[in-house]
């Protein structure tokens, strides 16, 4: 009886034979699966605007604040707008241009027309950009630069957020619009 109790205590304290094999199996699976997770991870890149040292531009007005940034993730480029305050968005007036005349830019805006917003906390709008080559026999200009032209896309009290052209170099590979 004493031997049985000692065996039970040994199994409880040390985990027994099954648990020891289970730990080895867990380690083996971890070592085999870890590289799969690391290889399948996508990494996003924040792109820096021309003349800036950080990856976003912050514009403050009397009635609100807006942060503009650009990023690259999973083969697509994104424009991000973080807005707070009373603003008007004219989705049809966003003006984008590249330094490559062979490219057509497609943007996936969530709506059309004009909408007014009163944003008490910071809200975000992300716009996925796609590109299509007019002539596939021609290469893509390197470096490719995206220009966000002055427009009434976002206004505060009827005033544009900026009258300057914002430029960002699109560094990673270019993905065709799909």
One pLDDT digit (tens) per residue for the chain, 178 residues: 667 766 665 665 555 554 555 566 556 555 555 555 555 556 677 888 888 888 888 888 777 788 899 988 877 888 888 888 888 888 888 899 988 888 888 888 877 777 777 777 778 888 888 888 888 788 778 888 899 999 988 888 788 888 889 998 887 554 444 4
Q: Which tokens in the block code for residue 34?
A: 């870890």
* Rounded Cα–Cα distance for residues 155 and 153 (Å): 7
- Say how many Å lie between the first and final Cα of the chain, rounded: 73
pLDDT of amino acid 130: 85
In a 10 Å sphere around its CB, with 0-12 CB exposed, 13-18 middle and 19+ buried, how is residue 21 labelled? exposed
Instruction: Compute the 3-state secondary structure of the chain and give helix, strand, coil in percent, each to the nearest 5.
Output: 25, 45, 35
Question: What is the pTM (predicted TM-score) of this model?
Answer: 0.66
**Contact indicator for 51, 41 with CB cutoff of 8 Å:** no
The neighbour count for residue 66, using CB atoms within 10 Å, is 22
* Rounded Cα–Cα distance for residues 98 and 81 (Å): 19
Phi and psi (nearest 5°) for 135?
-125, 110
pLDDT of amino acid 42: 62
């Amino acid at each position: 009886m004493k031997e049985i109790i000692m065996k039970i205590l040994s199994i409880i304290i040390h985990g027994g034979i099954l648990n020891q094999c289970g730990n080895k199996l867990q380690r083996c699976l971890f070592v085999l699966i870890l590289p799969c997770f690391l290889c399948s991870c996508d990494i996003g890149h924040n792109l820096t605007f021309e003349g800036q040292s950080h990856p976003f531009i912050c514009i403050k007005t009397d009635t609100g604040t807006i942060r503009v940034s650009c990023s690259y993730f999973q083969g697509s480029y994104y424009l991000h707008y973080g807005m707070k305050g009373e603003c008007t968005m004219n989705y049809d007036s966003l003006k984008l241009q590249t330094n490559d005349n062979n490219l057509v830019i497609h943007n996936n805006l969530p709506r059309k027309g004009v909408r007014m917003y009163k944003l008490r906390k910071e809200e975000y709008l992300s716009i996925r950009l796609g590109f299509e080559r007019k002539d596939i026999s021609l290469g893509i200009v390197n470096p490719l630069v995206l220009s966000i032209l002055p427009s009434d896309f976002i206004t505060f009290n009827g005033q544009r957020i900026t009258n300057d052209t914002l430029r960002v170099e699109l560094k990673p590979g270019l993905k065709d619009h799909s």
